[in-house]
């Protein structure tokens, strides 16, 4: 690799002045020959300022790069014995493969970076420029792959979960010690990121191999059921084999038992009703372009960049994924409760945020929100003077509330976590709504099918709340509150692609069009995403 030229060394000397000589750097040979080894920083503030003036397209990263060198006492980061170190080479490789990380960026001065690693370069890049170009590329890589969009942009996308912060210098220290952390670092990235990363590779290979072929049908389409025979059946079989829901493609036109199993597996991954019917809607879903599936994976990898990895390492927590209409209660890494939920409509969206569950209220009153009173209740009271009584409602200090009981809109238990959105988890008397595929029925709160099981599981370490006491408290006769001695974190997120614990990729509906909005921010030039669905 290239060595410092005399002119480069002279320039650095003139900029930083005489070097400090360290006694520890004398050897017997040094002493006898009066040769000194200089501890010369490769950069200083003046050199940094000159670099960013020369490479103006990198100026936006100047503060972060300067901070790196202040942390390193202005010593070289990328050189060892006048050679680029292992981390430098690995960083260059990762930059060349950055598309594999689900990002699309144009690297400034890419040709100069390539010259640095070219054995026969057309242009010799100085060691100082090499050093600072690599540091700039490190910041670009860390921002793009580890950090993602800035906090303000994320908030503008109505994502109010705590956003991870990256300490670039500390991260760099860990990479210097172990450069292979550039390949996988669970201390920096949420584990789901790497799972989606593997699926992205698979789907790009499918796209490259042109095996995602359109499925054609007869017109008018006739719903397919077991043991039907059709050329469409063979096409569905081929698709399910390509994406892994079938282990092989027999090419049969008969909707046989093998295909039935594959259809169930596919429907489970998409959150669809588990039956053997193949409707026109299912064909339309199968015919969504693979480019949309790839982009969906990339968008959800971006969301993973915002999540602190420590979130999934907590002792216990509740997690709700809005697009999958599912709740999970996790304790010590075990998924103790998995429950269907229904969420807010597109007009009354369930908010993406986090909180701390601090109490469970059994047989609760429901205090009707002012918005519901103004928009719905007043009209019903005007039309029927007995409406309040018939629905177990009453006035209380100027507010309308529903008394405890099995028909109470909150059901027989609610889980409270103070928040400005007035959102909480609760039971529901409308049990049939949990069987729908697309469960968007509430005014924003999260209705939980297994609310009682959740309460029992959360309180199993509370000796003064045995199951019998919980059953009595849920009788619907009297409101009873249990204050939690240890608050339980709850995270309400939005992922339309998710790899489950069995390693299967699941895709869910973009119920609030948040994928479309995020795509327009990340990839403003992409006008094709989901256009097939709009035809």
Render pLDDT for 404-460 as a digit per residue (tens, 0 to 9).
999 999 999 999 999 999 999 999 999 999 999 999 999 999 999 999 999 999 999
What is the number of other CB atoms lying within 10 angstroms of the CB of residue 531? 11
- Among 221-225, 387-391, 530-534, which range has the highest average pLDDT? 221-225
Give the angle 95-98-100 at the CA atoms, nearest 5°: 145
pLDDT at 18: 37
What is the number of other CB atoms lying within 10 angstroms of the CB of residue 10? 11
Render pLDDT for 201-219 as a digit per residue (tens, 0 to 9).
999 999 999 999 999 999 9
Mean pLDDT of 153-172: 96
DSSP state of 250: -
Give 62's pLDDT tier (boundaries 50, 70, 90): very high
CA–CA gap between residue 312 and residue 319 (Å, rounded): 10
Percent of the chain past pLDDT 90, that is, above it, reads 84
What φ, ψ does residue 489 adopt, rounded to 5°?
Answer: -65, 145
89 has a pLDDT exceeding 50? yes
Catalytic center residues: 426, 445
What φ, ψ does residue 141 adopt, rounded to 5°?
Answer: -65, -45
- Count of all residues that appear for the chain in the document: 535
Mean pLDDT of 263-280: 97
What is the number of other CB atoms lying within 10 angstroms of the CB of residue 216? 11
CA–CA gap between residue 476 and residue 413 (Å, rounded): 9
Render pLDDT for 109-136 as a digit per residue (tens, 0 to 9).
999 999 999 988 888 899 999 999 999 9
pLDDT at 121: 84
DSSP state of 415: E
Query: Are the beta carbons of 118 and 130 closer than 8 angstroms?
Result: no
CA–CA gap between residue 16 and residue 18 (Å, rounded): 7
Mean pLDDT of 86-105: 96
Q: Which of 30-34, 144-148, 265-269, 518-522 has the lowest mean pLDDT?
A: 30-34
Please name which of 328, 273, 357, 345 lies closest in space to residue 449, comparing C-alpha atoms: 328
pLDDT at 283: 97
Please name which of 534, 493, 535 lies closest in space to residue 516, comparing C-alpha atoms: 534
Query: Are the beta carbons of 354 and 489 closer than 8 angstroms?
Result: yes
pLDDT at 532: 55
Q: What is the chain's mean pLDDT, rounded?
A: 91
Strand partners, 318: 329, 490
H-state helical runs in 218-279: 231-243, 257-269
Give the angle 300-303-306 at the CA atoms, nearest 5°: 160
CA–CA gap between residue 7 and residue 102 (Å, rounded): 42
pLDDT at 3: 44
pLDDT at 81: 84
Query: Are the beta carbons of 478 and 362 closer than 8 angstroms?
Result: no
Give 309's pLDDT tier (boundaries 50, 70, 90): very high
Please name which of 365, 391, 395 lies closest in space to residue 380, comparing C-alpha atoms: 391
Give whole-number Cα distances, 71 to 68, 182, 521, in Å: 5, 20, 33
Render pLDDT for 185-203 as a digit per residue (tens, 0 to 9).
999 999 999 999 999 999 9
CA–CA gap between residue 283 and residue 339 (Å, rounded): 28
CA–CA gap between residue 118 and residue 285 (Å, rounded): 47
Render pLDDT for 471-502 as a digit per residue (tens, 0 to 9).
999 999 999 999 999 999 999 999 999 999 99
Query: Are the beta carbons of 402 and 366 closer than 8 angstroms?
Result: yes
CA–CA gap between residue 161 and residue 150 (Å, rounded): 13
Assess whether the previous peptide bond of 55 is cis (omega < 30° from 0). no
Give 6's pLDDT tier (boundaries 50, 70, 90): very low
């Amino acid at each position: 690799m290239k060595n410092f030229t005399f002119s480069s060394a002279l320039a650095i000397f003139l900029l930083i002045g005489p070097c400090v000589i360290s006694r520890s750097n004398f050897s017997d040979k040094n002493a006898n020959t009066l040769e000194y080894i200089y501890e010369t920083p490769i950069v200083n503030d003046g050199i940094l300022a000159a670099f960013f003036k020369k490479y103006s397209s990198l100026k936006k990263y100047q503060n972060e790069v300067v901070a790196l060198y202040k942390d390193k006492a202005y010593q070289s980061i990328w050189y060892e014995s006048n050679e680029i170190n292992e981390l430098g080479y690995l960083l260059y490789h990762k930059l060349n493969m950055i598309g594999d990380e689900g990002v699309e960026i144009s690297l400034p001065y890419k040709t100069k970076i390539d010259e640095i690693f070219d054995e026969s370069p057309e242009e010799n890049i100085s060691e100082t420029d090499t050093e600072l170009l690599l540091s700039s590329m490190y910041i670009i890589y860390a921002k793009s792959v580890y950090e993602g969009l800035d906090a303000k942009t994320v908030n503008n996308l109505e994502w109010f979960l705590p956003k991870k912060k990256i300490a670039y210098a500390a991260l760099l220290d860990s990479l210097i010690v172990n450069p292979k952390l550039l390949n996988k670092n669970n201390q920096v990235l949420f584990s789901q990121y790497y799972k989606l990363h593997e699926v992205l590779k698979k789907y790009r290979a499918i796209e490259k191999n042109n095996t995602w072929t359109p499925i054609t049908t007869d017109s008018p389409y006739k719903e397919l059921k077991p043991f039907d025979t059709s050329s469409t059946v063979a096409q569905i079989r081929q698709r399910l084999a390509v994406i892994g829901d079938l282990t092989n493609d027999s090419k049969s036109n008969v909707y046989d038992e093998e295909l039935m199993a594959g259809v169930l597996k596919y429907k489970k991954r998409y959150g669809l009703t588990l039956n053997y019917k193949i409707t026109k809607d299912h064909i339309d879903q199968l015919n969504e372009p693979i480019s949309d599936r790839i982009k969906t994976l990339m968008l959800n990898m971006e969301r993973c960049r915002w999540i602190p990895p420590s979130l999934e390492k907590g002792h216990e927590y509740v997690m709700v994924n809005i697009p999958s209409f599912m709740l999970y209660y996790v304790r010590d890494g075990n998924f103790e409760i998995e429950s269907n939920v229904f969420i807010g409509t597109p007009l009354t969206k369930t908010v993406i945020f986090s909180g701390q569950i601090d109490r469970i209220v059994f047989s609760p009153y429901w205090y009707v929100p002012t918005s519901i009173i103004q928009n719905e209740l007043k009209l019903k009271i005007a039309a029927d003077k007995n409406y309040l009584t018939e629905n177990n409602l009453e006035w209380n200090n100027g507010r309308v509330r529903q008394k405890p009981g099995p028909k109470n809109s909150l059901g027989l238990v609610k889980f409270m976590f103070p928040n400005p959105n007035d959102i909480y988890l609760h039971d529901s008397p409308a049990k049939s709504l949990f069987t729908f595929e697309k469960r968007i029925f509430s005014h924003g709160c999260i209705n939980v099918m297994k609310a009682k099981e959740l309460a029992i599981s959360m309180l199993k370490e509370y000796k003064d709340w045995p199951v019998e006491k919980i059953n009595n408290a849920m009788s619907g006769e009297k409101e009873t509150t249990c204050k939690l001695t240890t608050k339980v974190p709850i995270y309400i997120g939005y992922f339309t692609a998710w790899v489950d614990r069995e390693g299967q990729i699941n895709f869910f509906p973009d119920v609030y069009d948040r994928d479309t909005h995020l795509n327009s921010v990340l990839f403003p030039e992409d006008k094709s995403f989901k256009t097939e669905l709009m035809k």
